[in-house]
Amino acid sequence: MTNEELARTFEKIADLLEIKGEVIYVVLAYRRAAESLRILGQEADVYRTSQPLNTIPGIGKAIAEKIIELLDTGKLGFLEKLEAEVPVSLLEILEVPDVGPKKVALFWKQAGITTLADLEIAAQEHRLRQLPGMGEKSEQRILEGIAALRRRSHRMTLGVARPIGLRWVEWLQAQPCVQQAEFAGSLRRWRSTIGDLDLVAACDDSAALMAAFTSHPEVVRVLGQGENKSSIELSNGLKLQLWTQPPENFGSLFQFVSGSKEHNVRLREFALKQGWSLSERGLTGTDGKLVTYSDEESLYKALGLPWIAPELREDRGEIQAAQTGDLPALLKIDQLQAELHSHSTWSDGVNTIREMALAARQRGLKMLAITDHSASLGIAGGLKAEDLLRQRAEIDLVQKEMGSDFRLLQGTEVEIKADGSLDYPDEVLAQLDIVIASLHVSLRQPRPEVTARLLKVMQNPHVDIIGHLTGRLLPNREGADLDMDSVLKAALENGLALEINANPARLDLDEVYSRRAAEMGIPLSINTDAHSPADLDLIEYGVSVARRAWVEPEAVLNCWSVEKITAWLQSRGRN
């Protein structure tokens, strides 16, 4: 079983236990174990060959034994027994907005409701209002929640969420009583997919702001309205939450709502050891006196810590690193010198090589690789080998126009075929300035087969970079089920770079494996995979992955000087 499969298993156990009524600390132990497995960066089956599984943070002896059972048998007796006690179909009810484990347990134990369909029928027949704590309004909210569940996609990409967040921040900033407004939550932390949007505002008249927020023309349902927090749902099913505090408390509020929950728990523990109680209003001392902070930097400083970038706030060692002065020097967009994966009208790009080169230079880049698709990816109009000679002539002409302060490379995004062969023969690949090899087809091959296919390509001395490693498309298409330990080992042994594809529908390599690759000394290449000049601006999404992965500039190929990139390519046999 993969780490992701193990994590899902433990999340399932946590949900079922909470519905059953298990004590909360047991439930949280399984949730923490799931998160620890997701960020491990090494498959648990490999990890246990060198270290006991209970050395993984968040994994105790009992859960380690369950991991071993799952790895060895693919089954877990504890889960099978639990599923015999608690109907698994209750988990679909848990997806309904505002329905938590206690309500699910109520519906199940007192009304015999075990499926989403049962719940909807019971609500329509007005049977829910007869249950303790339920009434006509709560019954109607259940029906509205089921309708919302059907309307919405549970997660959206950063590329979808960020423009929405920016638009709502602009609206907030235009309100008379608002002095400062930002989006927070997982969007501010640049998580690869987003559920709900969290907004924060510094405001001296929260009642007026909440009234304007809940009566906005796009609102179809008000989920809750309070003095300092309100929740709304839009016509597309998206849920927004707005939090407010007076301007003097804004720093504490911004930190609190930005999360993550795990980071905030760790920070509260850190504050308690110093005699402080931390909340969205500020720090409260043992004397009961509240100290407020208008900005995050002052709050962290009061706790004896440097400001921690939002991308790092996932309880992955950032507070310990802040204490010891070991926080990474995070990558910035203006440190990137090159774009090494782009497309032109020679394949499925919409602009000429000249237009792409001018756009890259306008954005401050000093190098651009034109890497049009190879022939077998028919949907992309890929180049045949003989087309490359004509393309080289055009690149040479554009290079003369651009001058010596900008470098154009001729490359390819060569297709990795289902049998592990490449579109072009080695003698053709050898003539190019740079070669990216990518998986686009047969992604559902079994793990041994798809991994062997990729490893074969990685041993080819003419391949320089592996593009968007797994081939995933967010939020719904999973990538190839690769043996990542073998892939990372092969990348290191063969001196290859791995790409962080900046397209928000990919963000592949993800942060977990980007961090591990950098720690191993494998170069990373952050590329937009641009098919137009506008796509070059997607680079901020790729940089966000590197920042969440604690990757520093020296580990990123694109941050090197043109001379250093050229020398690296030459060391790999390029002209």
The per-residue pLDDT for range 513-536, each reduced to its tens digit, is 999 999 999 999 999 999 999 999
Cβ neighbors of 130 (< 8 A, separation 6 or more) are none
* Topology adopted by domain 252-324: Beta Polymerase; domain 3 (3.30.210)
Question: Residue 512: which H helix or E strand, with range?
Answer: helix 511-520
pTM, entire model: 0.85
What pLDDT is recorded for position 151?
67
CA 261 – CA 45 distance, rounded (Å): 28
User: Rounded to the nearest 5°, which phi and psi values hold at 26?
Assistant: -70, -45
**Stretch(es) of the chain classified as CATH 1.10.150.110:** 3-151
Q: Which residues pair with 434 in a beta bridge?
A: 411
Domain 3-151 has CATH 1.10.3720.10: no
Residue 43 pLDDT: 87
CATH assignment of 156-245, among 3.30.1330.10, 1.25.10.10, 2.60.120.430, 3.30.460.10: 3.30.460.10
Q: For 441-472, how does the pLDDT look when each residue is reduced to its tens digit (9 = 90+)?
A: 888 899 999 999 999 999 999 999 999 999 99
Of the pLDDT bands very low, low, confident and very high (cuts 50, 70, 90), residue 153 is low
Identity of the highest mean pLDDT range in 109-123, 370-384, 489-503: 489-503
Query: How many whole angstroms separate alpha carbon 107 and alpha carbon 446?
Result: 40
What residues are paired with 231 via a beta bridge? 224, 241
Tell me the average pLDDT across 206-233: 95
Q: How confident is the model at residue 147, as a pLDDT?
A: 85
Q: Please give the Cα distance from 223 to 428 (Å, whole number).
A: 61
User: What does the CA dihedral 65, 69, 75, 81 come to, rounded to 10 degrees?
Assistant: -40
Q: Where are the alpha helices (DSSP H) in 315-470?
A: 318-324, 353-362, 387-402, 426-429, 447-458
Which CA distances in Å does 471 have to 1, 442, 466?
20, 10, 11
Rounded mean pLDDT of the chain? 94
Query: What pLDDT, on a 0 to 100 scale, did the predictor assign at position 235?
Result: 79
**pLDDT > 90 fraction of the chain, expressed in percent and rounded:** 85
Name the residue with tokens 């490893």: 455
Domain limits, CATH 3.30.460.10, in the chain: 156-245
- Say what the pLDDT of residue 2 is: 85
CATH of domain 333-571: 3.20.20.140
**Is residue 380 very low, low, confident or very high in pLDDT (cuts 50, 70, 90)?**
low
Rounded mean pLDDT, 527-550: 96
Range with the largest mean pLDDT of 23-32, 113-122, 218-227, 359-368: 359-368
Instruction: Give 101: exposed, middle or buried? Use CB within 10 Å, 0-12, 13-18, 19+.
Output: buried
pLDDT score for 4: 84
User: Contacts from 290-293 at CB under 8 Å and sequence distance 24+?
Assistant: 292/248, 292/249, 292/251, 292/252, 293/248, 293/249, 293/251, 293/252
DSSP three-state, residue 468: coil
Per mean pLDDT, which of 35-39, 65-69, 475-479 is the most reliable? 65-69
Q: Which of 98, 91, 151, 141 is nearest to 120 (CA)?
A: 141
CA 20 to chain centre: 31
Q: Give start-end residues of each CATH 3.30.210.10 domain in the chain.
A: 252-324
And the tokens for 6? Answer: 């193990």
Intervals of CATH 3.20.20.140 along the chain: 333-571
In angstroms, the CA 524 to CA 515 distance is 10
Give the whole-angstrom CA distance, residue 351 versus residue 317. 44
